Structure 1
Amino acid sequence: MAFDGASEFLSWLYALDRRPWIFTREKLLPIVYLRHRAPRKYLSALADHWTRLRRRGPRQCVVVAAGGGSGDDGVEQLLAAALARFSRRTWLGRGQRAPHFALASWLAALRREKPSTLSEAEVIAKIRNHHSRYELAYQEARESPDPMIRVPLDTISGLPWWIQLPAHLLPRAALRLADTVFGPQRWFERRGGSHRRVTVRGEAEPLRGTLFALAKRCAGIDGEVPSQRQIDALLADAFLQDLRRTYSRSRPLGGGRRRRTYPVLLLPSEGEPAPAALVRAITDVRNGQPRRGTVKRDPLLVVVAGRLAGDGPEPEAQEPGSPESAYEDWRADLAAAGRRQRVWLLAFEAPAQRAPQNERDRVRKVRPPGRVPWMSFASVLAVLAALVAVPVVNYEFCRPPLSSPIGLFPPEPRDEMSREDLGDVDQCVGLVGDSPPLVSPDLDDPIERIRQANAEALRAEHHLTVVHLTMLSPGTDQGVRATREELRGLAIAQRESLGSETPIRLLLANAGAGMRHADKAAREIIQAHHRERIDAVVGLGISTEETIAAVRDLGRAALPAIGSSTTADELLTASPFYYQVSVSNKRQAAFAAEYATGDMRASSARVYFSGDPADTYSSELATAIRDHLDDTVEITDHAAYRTTDTDDGESVFQLGREACTAAVDPDEIVVYAGRAERFGQFLNGMKSRCENRYPRILATDDVSRFVLEGTNRYYPNLRLDYIALASSALWGSECEAMKEQGSFYIHYDDLFTNACDENRDGRALLSFDALTLVRQAATNVLNSDPEFLWSQGIEPGLSKIRGEGRVSGVSGDLDYSDPAEPRAPANKAIMVLRITDTGQPCLVRVDGQFSSQNPITGSCEPQPGDR
């Protein structure tokens, strides 16, 4: 293989064999003609180097030598030998099929018979034998130990069973059917380019027609018998058509997309007529009229070594040391020449002198293109793994099954959610931008309004980014309703901010049911703090240990956190950046004790609360109520219900049964400081024993979620008063003073309707005020130093919301001037509501400051025991 310039020639040959990565492009492949003194030896070494180092599966590089005979079937034998080797099975699978060449070789066999002795019936008979006994015999070189290689036609034809079966029974009908619907046979009718082709003078007309018509013509029955050159061109064209189909990239799942190199046919020639005839046949095919474009592009690289037989002049040979420039010149000449004058041979002359040793070393270092066999399978396995892994990963990170994990345009918050096990269901927790997945359809409307407002806020030159951290997947119907009202209040406040100097972009974060993953969601918010330029966090759901941990983490990151309905006293000391809209547990407990002793005239009380150690709100509030009642009211029972079957203590149902003893004493009341989710079970326990003679019950603010669900109708004669942190009941049973109170109710009616009825529990009012607090803090900073707001945030403005700078909110005045509790509103409005038969609560008592509008007086009718 070594001669002067051999390494450059070999590198160029390997590069020429590499297919372009762009599927719509294919190379123009010349017939490389190397004049060499030992063609067989050179091509054998080249084939060994090519196949051994490339280690591909199906054979892609084969050597085909002409036999000793000089018959008319020389081209057919060469092509049959090439197909026999291309079609060999390997451990990677079967080779390629060649139905077009199989049919063309059968036509050539008909021509080799004595045409005068064949009748139409005999042609039909040969069709019958076509699939069973016909074979191609290829005579190998003389030095081969097995000179004859027989290739059964059915091993490469690949005809479908629905043609093979009727071919044995009804040959003529099968042939007619195949001519109509079978692609390879229809190709014979279409070959030769466009039907409007112009025949050049002296150009042999290509064989074209139905297979049956061509068979009769080749047998001498009908029309002129084709010439040998036409038969050779037909065989070569059929051979190339099979390669075109095998290497086609037009099919989405076709094997041609995975074939990164062209097949290579190495053809030694020592003056035999067959190699020259094959080169001439390939040239005739490529110079034919293409169906599309100007030049036929066939996926076959032919390398001829030796001397080609023929009378015509050979093309000028180039130096093998500079093959790239020779190839570019050849392409330019090919484009400039007419269709019939194109020369596809690109000739090189191998020097006769012995190559230096360093040239041999360079040849050994040249590596052919391609990849090791397992890469094809690895790529397929990688695709299959991706198809499985992407939905699995997206499921774990709460994304749509086939979505991309990265969104580049338009720029949006990255999805920071993950799936967490919350007992019987999985929930997606974390920072979710403005479109959380896997939440209740009841939340779709306010979430969509928030998304629309976000798009408008982003168009402003400056805007605030606020995260609402809450229970987007609370797991209960009453929890969904509470979350819906929170989002509605935020949507209204955000809408009002769009026309101001501080428009708000609102992101959402889910802490899961019961705020169990509030700390995890807070960490993800902190990670996105600088990326999303987050100014504050609002909401915070309910008061639990996880909520307190989240507030601590946010405080360490200097992120202001504003609780809307959180009341735990421990939160007030968790972070210097924490503020809340609702009153503290300490204030609620004092108000509850005052109402129990003053309005309810209770002399004894039974206090029940949640035994969940993580529920700070319930245990802290129950203890505070007991301490405030202890001086004047006897505590006959102070018990916690267990939240799991493995905890100590009584079930909430059993405690409800025990609470019925308070119905005997008219001066004894039941105080429920537990969660709304358990209050129904508590009442069921009462119902099972009280027989519709319920004691008077005073419940804390969390029970408002249960009351507004309307299930109190299942407990006739129930006497329930409960504390509310905010409610539209302040303005009467029909909200008579609603329009005078402010724009909140007007906007609520515009966006969601039924403002009076839907705001009895006050969740929307509290979340509205939380976002209003952020806006006021931003305005305070903006009035003193505008640049500080957009670079440092709103925290300095929060401390200015006091005294004359207080905010008159829709849930009450927000004035943070109490030195004992500087981050809880001082003397804020708090009220007691009572359930009624209509399903809507009435106002019993209100206490605290509400400067924007005077609330109505109590709207409830007095009950026995009231003062």
Structure 2
Amino acid sequence: MGVGSGSGAAASGGGGATQGGGRPSGACSPRGTGYFLEWIGSLLRRPRRDRDLPLVWLGGEGATAVLDSLEKRLRTTDGRQVPHARADTGEPSGADGVRVLLDRVHELLSVRSFGAGHLGFRHYEVLRCLLGPWNGEGGGGGGRAEAAARLRSRRTPVQEGQAVDQGGLVGQIGAVWQLVWWLLRQGIPAALFQLAVSGRFPGIGRPYRWFMRQEYLVPRSSGGFLAFAGWILALERNGERREEIDKLLVHAFLQDLRRAYPRLSWRVRCWRRTVYPVVLVKGAGPGDAGERLLRLVGEVRCETGWWDPLLAVYARRRQPWNTGAPETSALVPVRPEEVGKGGGTARERGPGPGRPAADDTAWLLPVEISGMPAQDGGEDGGGPPVIAPGAPRWYTHRTFAAALCLALLVPLLGWSRQWLGGPDCLHRPFSGQVSVRSAGGECVGYSDSDAFRFNDEPGQEKLQRVQEKIFEQNRRARRGWEKSDRRRPYVTVVYLGTLTGRNTNDDEEAYAAERQELEGLAVAQYRGIKQPASAADVPLMHVVVANAGFQMRHAAPVIDMIADLARGGGEAPVIGVVGLVESRKSTFRALKRLNQEGIPAIAPTLSGEGMYQGSSLYLQIATPNRDQATMVAEYARSRGIRKARVYYTVGERSSREDDIYVSTLVEEVRKKVEGVEYVEDFMAKGLRREECGYPGMLFFAGRWSEFHDFLRGLATCEEQPRLLVADDSVNRYMANPSLRRSAPAGLPLVFASKAPLATCEALRSRAREGRDGRAAKFLQLVSTTLGDRPLETPRCTGPEGEAPEEPVGERVGLAHDSALLLLEAVESLTERVRVPGETWDPRLVGPVTVHTEVLRLNGERPFSGATGQIRFHRGGGEPMGRTISFLKVGDITDLDEPPREVFRCEGTGADGEIDCAALAAGTGGSQR
């Protein structure tokens, strides 16, 4: 081994070694040995900024004993240890001694994890695969082919006795599976190998790229890694440049250690390595493999200038320090107790990463152990004190990593909840405008495509199919807009309703009212689609279906979603919300939120008193409860009824205070109907026996969902009450065939209707007279039986004078008129503000602008729709003088009998007052 001053090596240890003027004499004290071992332990501890590590050479009579003591200190009993490897060289070895020693160190360091994860040696193993013994194919003498075969055998080894009988296997499978088998076994691995060794693709082949960038054997002149590997094989077989190959081996080994100790914030395992690895080598004599390995490590450090985390300790007994070269001075050792004292810092005295050294001993720190050290024991005499790794920093613990993952999982769950709907509301992401989430066991939000449909419960197939129809027409509306060269107005209307939450049987259609309202929007949507592309001012409507959950209880988050949709703009701006279903406090709060967001709300059926107070942008199509109460009073008077009893219900999980529809209707009936004996909550009180054969009027003023229980209370009566009347909520019950079939047989019923002018008979009459074009067009659309039609089941298709096969449903016309009210305003705005021939600019209309235009047009003339004329109060959203009537069936269970109109109230003047009259078809006789 070459010799030198040794000054740089002392500094490399982190504090330097004090040098004497000559060789120290005298035995090493126990205190000195203990201090030296403590210094080694402090050197192994990894600081915040990595330090340069020396190559420690222990010499003298007690050197191997100190090495043994150091090894004992490294063997801790718990799971975490300093990564270490002990390798003895034995007698001075031959040319392969360094490789054998390095292989042994690699084996010991790579097999154990030492409590901080295994150390990987990808670079070293690639080179050892090239230089190791080889019995496979690929020829001799080196070359690209043999190098490739050696490296492929490392990636996909075939052990002896495990060869596959390819002929027998291939004979048992078909040609296609033979190809698949070949691809899996040979084709794909070979392609991946070629990609890796090319070094041109990030993410694969990193070790091969490193070999082409390092300094030894001039790899850049080879023309590729396989050519470079073939040249290494040829040099190895010819015995040429062997020392440089050994340096490349050492360099690859050190590179693997460097990659295990990077300062990278995203590699948490590396931050858990709080100590450096140490290699302990027991020498045999001058020129042995251990001595040559230390020299090679020092030379690689000096020639490359790259830092590495290896601490090497080499020990040899009774050998002179001066090992050879007369042209150099002898190494000057230091005593153990002098190690680390004085002498300046590494930055001041010795070479480090990126700084060349004067000679190959610059990293060497010689320490003389003269004499045998005393027994090294702990304070209690139970063994030597251990050198253990320090605890990893708090942010590298698995607990912190788990907490961090959970913290990151929360927004991820929030994202999946918003964009994927959560586990209960999964839908296809990035397919249309869909935003749903689970709330109280219901999927609420909105959707405009088949990526998500609301309510897939059994029995609700009609509700699902009308959503599919609307989503299909959304696509057609988009295509029609494109075919018009984007000139036609293109707007979005949101339907907001209650599409989930009710308890139903498998064969029970519990959402008939909502289905009818969606059908009305589908008819209005179809009306625009069928217009020619040249109708530049006729709007095309895009419909978004939104669900606010049971009794609109989740309206607040859904309106937030709708507001985000409206703020997002786009080619089809949101111009209003249609629906809202029931007059409840939750609905009233929803109106307030919509008003805050500047979105108009059009309610087809809401009739609770004062709902307009929730929003200055609210428009109501149905007549208010005070008109219905007036009709109840007038009808009772026309029948000679002088007393009445009123029962009400408010629905499941609700109260009279929360139900604005029921509470205001009951109060209006109490004020306007004469002879009201009492008003009671049916669900709390039940029916009395005196209701059987009651000579006055029993008026049901509750929700349709409890009407069946009310009828079952009358089923035990031998004599039915004289007159049974129900509010307009019972329209939902009458639209549900399964509920009607289970009602008491033979029981007649009179119930209110908010759209008597939109029945099949009334539509035919209005269309026949030629005085109402809107009624004729609506009748044509709902009755068409062609393949391209807006309704799955056409309405009013029976021959004139006979019972229609399917009633149109009052909510179909009301929802149709609600949408048409908005579309008419958009058309008027487009005609007034757009230059003829220009493409559609969504900025021309806004929700508030559309609402203002509705009121402006209504001030000029009442809106004429399928359900009749609509004229709003000035300064309010309630209609004036709307037609309302009573329909009658002789037997609730008779589905073939169409309800017939028996009483009607309609506006007579500008003040909005209604005038009521009995119709000839319904006068006279008793309902008994």
TM-score (norm: length of structure 2): 0.55
- Match among 622, 627, 638 for residue 582 of structure 1: 622
Q: Distance in 2 between matches of 1:737 and 1:239?
A: 97
Structure 2 counterpart of 1:742, one-letter code: A
Q: Does 1:636 align with 2:636?
A: no
C-alpha deviation, 1:70, in angstroms: 3.5
- Match among 663, 670, 675 for residue 619 of structure 1: 663
| 1:795–1:63 Cα change, 3 Å | farther
- Match among 901, 917, 921 for residue 844 of structure 1: 901
- Match among 82, 99, 116 for residue 92 of structure 1: 116
Q: Describe how 1:276-675 pairs up with structure 2 within 5 A.
A: 348-349=356-357, 374-375=395-396, 377=398, 381=402, 385=406, 389=410, 393=414, 399-401=420-422, 415=435, 419-421=438-440, 426-429=441-444, 439-441=454-456, 442=461, 443-454=463-474, 456-457=477-478, 460=486, 463-477=490-504, 478-498=509-529, 500-519=537-556, 521-522=558-559, 525-526=562-563, 529-532=566-569, 534-598=574-638, 600-610=639-649, 612=655, 613-630=657-674, 634-642=675-683, 649-650=684-685, 654-655=686-687, 658=688, 661-665=690-694, 667-675=695-703
- 3-state SS of paired residue (1:827): coil
C-alpha deviation, 1:62, in angstroms: 9.3
Structure 2 counterpart of 1:768, one-letter code: H
Structure 2 counterpart of 1:827, one-letter code: R
Tell me what 1:724 maps to: 753
C-alpha deviation, 1:614, in angstroms: 0.8
Structure 2 counterpart of 1:176, one-letter code: G
C-alpha deviation, 1:42, in angstroms: 6.5
| 1:63–1:793 Cα change, 3 Å | farther
Instruction: Verify the 8 A CA contact 1:545 1:616 in the aligned structure 2.
Output: yes
Tell me what 1:827 maps to: 882
Instruction: Verify the 8 A CA contact 1:812 1:829 in the aligned structure 2.
Output: no
Q: Describe how 1:757-836 pairs up with structure 2 within 5 A.
A: 759-786=807-834, 789-790=845-846, 793-802=849-858, 805-816=861-872, 823-834=878-889, 835=892
Q: Distance in 2 between matches of 1:698 and 1:569?
A: 21
Structure 1 counterpart of 2:664, one-letter code: E
C-alpha deviation, 1:89, in angstroms: 3.6
Structure 1 counterpart of 2:544, one-letter code: L
Structure 2 counterpart of 1:84, one-letter code: L
- 3-state SS of paired residue (1:484): helix
| 1:720–1:259 Cα change, 3 Å | same
Q: Distance in 2 between matches of 1:397 and 1:200?
A: 54
Q: Distance in 1 between matches of 2:893 and 2:429?
A: 54
Q: Distance in 1 between matches of 2:728 and 2:310?
A: 90
Q: Distance in 2 between matches of 1:587 and 1:43?
A: 99
- 3-state SS of paired residue (1:671): strand
Q: Distance in 2 between matches of 1:258 and 1:87?
A: 17
Tell me what 1:742 maps to: 776
Q: Deviations over 1:228-265 (max 9, x none)?
A: 999998999899799999999xxxxxx99977999999
Q: Distance in 1 between matches of 2:452 and 2:245?
A: 64
Q: Distance in 1 between matches of 2:630 and 2:907?
A: 19
- 3-state SS of paired residue (2:645): strand
- 3-state SS of paired residue (2:577): strand
- 3-state SS of paired residue (1:467): strand
Structure 2 counterpart of 1:824, one-letter code: P
Q: Does 1:79 align with 2:119?
A: no
- Match among 92, 101, 109 for residue 69 of structure 1: 92
The structure with higher relative contact order (CA 8 Å, sep 6+) is: 2
Instruction: Verify the 8 A CA contact 2:903 2:922 in the aligned structure 1.
Output: no
Instruction: Verify the 8 A CA contact 1:561 1:579 in the aligned structure 2.
Output: yes
C-alpha deviation, 1:566, in angstroms: 0.3
Structure 1 counterpart of 2:679, one-letter code: H
C-alpha deviation, 1:693, in angstroms: 3.8
Q: Deviations over 1:526-557 (max 9, x none)?
A: 56553445432221111112222332343355
Q: Distance in 1 between matches of 2:247 and 2:164?
A: 18
Q: Deviations over 1:701-754 (max 9, x none)?
A: 111111121222221011111111126872249979889943445444513332
C-alpha deviation, 1:768, in angstroms: 1.2
Instruction: Verify the 8 A CA contact 2:433 2:448 in the aligned structure 1.
Output: yes
Instruction: Verify the 8 A CA contact 2:466 2:792 in the aligned structure 1.
Output: no
C-alpha deviation, 1:846, in angstroms: 5.9
Instruction: Verify the 8 A CA contact 1:727 1:759 in the aligned structure 2.
Output: no
Q: Deviations over 1:340-394 (max 9, x none)?
A: xxxxxx994459999xxxxxxxxxxxxxxxx968548478636853796467546
- 3-state SS of paired residue (1:465): strand
- 3-state SS of paired residue (2:901): strand
Instruction: Verify the 8 A CA contact 2:622 2:754 in the aligned structure 1.
Output: yes
- 3-state SS of paired residue (2:759): helix
Q: Deviations over 1:731-780 (max 9, x none)?
A: 24997988994344544451333232665532222111111111122234
- 3-state SS of paired residue (1:690): coil
Tell me what 1:293 maps to: none
Q: Distance in 1 between matches of 2:454 and 2:541?
A: 23
Q: Distance in 2 between matches of 1:819 and 1:776?
A: 19
- Match among 734, 740, 747 for residue 707 of structure 1: 734
Q: Does 1:683 align with 2:739?
A: no
Q: Describe how 1:187-202 pairs up with structure 2 within 5 A.
A: none
- Match among 160, 171, 176 for residue 161 of structure 2: 176
Instruction: Verify the 8 A CA contact 2:599 2:617 in the aligned structure 1.
Output: yes
Unaligned runs of 5+ in 1: 1-34, 112-162, 164-172, 208-224, 249-254, 283-298, 311-319, 322-326, 328-345, 355-370, 643-648, 852-856
- 3-state SS of paired residue (2:729): helix
Q: Distance in 2 between matches of 1:280 and 1:39?
A: 14
TM-score (norm: length of structure 1): 0.59
Structure 2 counterpart of 1:91, one-letter code: G
Structure 2 counterpart of 1:484, one-letter code: R
Instruction: Verify the 8 A CA contact 1:554 1:561 in the aligned structure 2.
Output: yes
- 3-state SS of paired residue (2:589): helix
Structure 2 counterpart of 1:463, one-letter code: Y
Tell me what 2:926 maps to: 865
Tell me what 1:153 maps to: none
Tell me what 1:155 maps to: none
